[in-house]
Amino acid sequence: QVQLVESGGGLVQPGGSLRLSCVVSGSIFSFYIMGWYRQAPGKQRQLVASIATSGSTNYADSVKGRFTISRDNAKNTVYLQMNSLKPEDTAVYYCNLKKVTQRADYWGQGTQVTVSS
C-alpha cells in the first residue's frame, strides 16, 4: 500500500547539478525515516542521506556539503539536491521509507544518475 516513485535522474558533466524527487503515496506514519540510497555497478547499496520525521538529517561523508535532502509534506515529496557532482556519484539512486516501529522498508524502482565528461 506504500508506493515510492523516483524521478530526476539523467546524464550530467562533472561539476553539474541534479535534483531527484521521490513521491510517496499510501499510509501516513508518525515515526519514519526517508532516505536516499545509491548503488553503483558491482557495489553494494549504500545510504546517501536521510531525514527523520523531526526534520533531523544525516549524510554520508562523501556527499556532505554537496548534497541536500529536504521534504515538502504538502506534496508528499522528498528531494535530493545534488551539486558539484563527481564521476564517483554515478549510480542508481533509490528512495527508501523506513517504518521505525514496525521495522519495515519500502523502496522505489530507482533512477539512474550518470556523471561523465
Q: For the segment 10-28, what is each residue's pLDDT rounded down to a tens digit?
A: 999 999 999 999 999 987 6
80 pLDDT above the threshold of 80: yes
pLDDT (average), residues 36-51 = 97
pLDDT value at position 100? 85
More confident residue, 113 or 30: 113
Instruction: Give the integer Cα–Cα distance in Å for 114 and 71.
Output: 24
Give yes or no for a contact between 22 and 34, defined as CB atoms under 8 angstroms apart: yes
Classified as helix, coil or strand, 80 is strand
81 pLDDT above the threshold of 80: yes
% of the chain at pLDDT higher than 70: 97
What is the pLDDT of the chain when averaged over all its residues?
94
73 pLDDT above the threshold of 90: no
Give the Cβ contact number of residue 5 at 10 Å.
Answer: 14
Reported confidence tier of residue 74, pLDDT bands at 50, 70, 90 = confident
